[in-house]
Amino acid sequence: MARTTLVTGGAGFIGSHTCVELLRAGDEVVVLDDHSNSSPEALERVAKIAGRPIAAVHVADVRDRKALDAVFASHPIDAVIHFAAKKAVGESVRIPLAYYDINVGGTTALVSAMHAHGVHRLVFSSSCSVYGDATTVPLTEESPTAPTNPYATTKWTCERILSDLCRHVPELRVLALRYFNPAGAHPTGLLGEDPRGVPNNIMPFLTQIAVGRRDGLSVFGDDYPTPDGTGIRDYIHVVDVAEGHRTALDHIDDEPGMRVFNLGTGRGASVLELVRAFEKASGRPVPYRVTARRPGDVAELVADPAKVMAAWGWTARRDLAAICRDAWNFQQHNPYGYAS
């Protein structure tokens, strides 16, 4: 029988790509999103790519318990993927309480509604930012956690709450997926990253430079203890991340309780390596200048993806060239994002 999955934040960057994978796998998909950081157009495109409709879209805040009750009352939900959250690290330093409220309060409201309606399977969007300033790479799930900003603290706090709950609610099954740096776009050019205002993350910044919306890149520091001095990250294709969620749902009943998995490639790229890969993919030069380090940035974050490979046979299949090619393809087809 087809599984019915509730996807909170399903219109967002990772959520929309995940909805495509779920629909393609035959799931019924119900989305809850307040569109505070997304366009309804993304969901139209999800259905177009998948060739199947989303069962229902509820435009609501994930903290709204009445709205959640209505969603659970009107669909036979088997599992929930919880993407809905605020994700800008810099903003979280300026307005930490909003981050605790939405990210932590949203998660507790959701889990409370799930419990009330007898739904016990949850995939939670966590982040490599819970590891903080890593002293040794690659990072395994056993590496010490030390969040360095309010955003990361919300993800770490949610993990703690969920793990604690699992001890007291034996039927609960939670998979916390710690994504490294999701980037890229759907190869159709229909779905991609469409940040509001100035992008916080490097990949949409690069694509906006190449399409002529921005002049050049500030490389935040070249004095890190890395081979070329610039920060190293584990960029993972968003379609790989989406496939990881579909695989997670297939394995959520393997064991009760809470399990944590890294979703990364295990391969790091420096800022300058990324710039070169993007120039090659786009055929456009990326003017850049080195500026000061960005406060809160760390030298190197790279996943050890062995645990998820051993558990589910899941591995990221797309490389940095594919990430750059697909991100550029989306930007070219949608120079102003979904508003194009």
Which residues are tagged catalytic?
151
* Calpha distance 289→219 (Å, rounded): 6
Report the first-to-last Cα separation within the chain, whole angstroms.
39
Contact stretch for ligand NAD (CB under 6 A) within 20-28, 44-52, 82-90, 317-325? 82-90
State the binding partner of 318 from ligand NAD, ligand WQD, none, CB within 5 to 8 A by kind.
Answer: none
**Strand 232-233 relative to strand 269-270: parallel, antiparallel, unpaired?**
antiparallel
Residue 294 binds: one of ligand WQD, ligand NAD, none (C-beta under 5 to 8 A by kind): ligand WQD
Give me 138's structure tokens.
């690659």
**Toward ligand WQD, which CB reaches closer, 167 or 294?**
294
Of 154 and 247, nearer to ligand WQD (C-beta) is 154
Task: Based on the shown chain and the rule CB under 6 A, indicate whether residue 127 belongs to the binding site for ligand NAD.
Answer: yes
Does 181 contact ligand WQD by CB under 6 A? yes
3-state SS, residue 303: strand
**Which listed residue (89, 119, 165, 239) binds ligand WQD by CB under 6 A?**
89
Question: Residue 236: which of 194, 185, 286 has the closest Cα?
Answer: 185
With binding defined as CB under 6 A, does residue 204 bind ligand NAD? no
Residue 284 CA to residue 304 CA, distance in Å, equals 33
Q: 217: which 2 tokens?
A: 């890149």
d(CA 295, CA 292): 9
Q: Binding string, 218-257, against ligand WQD, x = CB under 6 A?
A: xxx----------x-x------------------------
28-47 residues near ligand WQD, rule: CB under 6 A: none
Q: Among residue numbers 112 through 151, which ones bind ligand WQD (CB under 6 A)?
A: 127, 129
129 contacts 147 by C-beta, under 8 angstroms: yes
Q: Annotate 66-120 with DSSP letters as a single string.
A: HHHHHHHHHS---EEEE--S---HHHHHHSHHHHIIIIIIHHHHHHHHHHHTT--
Size of the site for ligand WQD (CB under 6 A): 18
Quick one: tokens of 298? Answer: 């760390």
Contact set with ligand WQD (CB under 6 A): 87, 89, 127, 129, 181, 200-202, 205, 217-220, 231, 233, 271, 294, 297
Contact set with ligand NAD (CB under 6 A): 9, 11-15, 33-38, 61-63, 83-87, 102, 106, 125, 127, 179, 181-182
